[in-house]
Structure 1
Amino acid sequence: MPNPVNKINWTPEQLKYMVEQHSKMTNSQLADTIGLKVTSVRTKLYEMGFYKMRLEYWTDEQVEFLKANYKTLGDTELAEIFNQKWHKDKGWDKKHIEKKRRYLVLKRTIDEKKAIHQRNVDLGCFSMCAVKAWKQRGVSPDGTIRFWKLGDSDRPVPHIKVNGKYIHWNRWFWEQNNGSIPDGHFIVFVGDTSILTIENLRCISVEDYKREFNEREVVNLSDGYVASMITFGNKELRMQVINMPDLITAKRTQLLINRKIKQHGTEQNRRS
């Protein structure tokens, strides 16, 4: 009797090969090796009881337990309870609980979330969070240098880890080479903050630092801002002044001179 259309006559050699190799090869690889479609190979493996991934579905009991307790217990704690009550080959974790809650539209109110958080605090659930995170990610050793931007500045500032804490690299490196920093002085970079050499550092007093900072702020004023100071809010005139670089430079110079005169007067008053 002829075979039905699309029916495959599996040979003993093919079946033996699939049984031996199904855990070592993908279904696509098996299909290519045997010379059949991947759907046929997958279906035959299922018939023989071999699965690449077997889904484990929620039972009615598990769903009812989730509905009864999600308002008072957090997802992590629920996952721990599920692991104790119901065995699952791959185990239960927080993601399984979250996904099922979203599917069932089981949302918590703000008050319920606060109550769960307080319960976790009372149970000490957060006391070891940092320690566990360090163990998982690894702790950077002393001497590690990191570049961070501080405040609104775009300049990355180097920090070095010393005795388990990050401190300013420039102050630390200066003291390693020149001893203690005098009171009322800063250690600043001469140029690029990524150049970590003693030649790129200098010790400067607080007064000099403020003066240089103020001068730098004036120099960094945008052309549009300087033009607006010249034109007193006249937009049309401001657009014309922006295209006059010599005038912009002259105004910046005037601002610097005015600031230096003011600082000189302040210093004279302090001395008197």
Structure 2
Amino acid sequence: MKFTRIQLIEIKKKRRILTNKQLYDHLTVNFKLNTGYTSFRTALYNLGLKKCSILRWTESEKKFLLENYRILGNIEIAKNLSKPGRIFTKKNIEKKIKLLKIKRTPEELLYIKDKNKAKGIYKEASARIKEKGIRYYPEGHVKIQIMNDRPVVVIKVNGIFVHYMRYRYKQIHGDIPEGWKVYPKDYNFRNIADENLICKHATGIGTSEREKYKHFYRQYFAEIEAQNPKIVKLEKPPVPEEPAQTLIAVRIGKMVVKVKPGTDIGKLKEKYEMRNTPSNFRLANANMKINN
């Protein structure tokens, strides 16, 4: 099967926050997807949109990781473990390290980094990035990134982007208690001045405060849309309402009940008669039928 352009856009937008079954139901109801679930899931796999790939580790592979993770980087370990028909990636190594609950010390990380620098690995990576025209962000770069459909200010730390406000608050005030979040005092997510940062428990943010945040979010998206008039927001088509079924009035004994068209009236009357027949009479009648 083939997806339409609008369906593909919606799949790429929602596939990380919905399960395959939820995504299938969402597309069926809102985007006129007309196929079975199995065909839908197969089509996703053919596009390379798999949730995860499970890699079973052998004892020898696990032993190699435990013996070398302190002196080798994740990419180098993946290259050493890979062989034809069994490819390891950086993500596979990261996941296994997390599952084994092992961690490199800052000194070990520095040793691996210096060793890679001496080999010229970072220069080669930078050259490949420039060749492909990929935008490179240096360490400490601050930008606005869309997360869970809302804009967030992030900063690049140790090669990855993290929430700026949380990172900066920890630098100034130390660790943040579990369940607490860092917010801007004036509710403007773009105002990242040190004096504008405040730490609150997540339950301390009420509906009125959330509306103030949303005001600045809408303002930001309006500015982006004004700068890029080619961006068209896809509106979800309305969910078709199911037509109301006409009920039919039926008299059963002394009662008048309304039933759906196609209901077996005979069975309904039998059930009513059984409920309104004395129990001793029903038992005698049943015994008579058995004897006959």
Q: TM-score, normalised by structure 1?
A: 0.30
Structure of greater relative contact order (alpha carbons < 8 Å, 6+ residues apart): 2
TM-score normalised by structure 2 residue count: 0.29
Larger Rg: 1
Higher helix share: 1
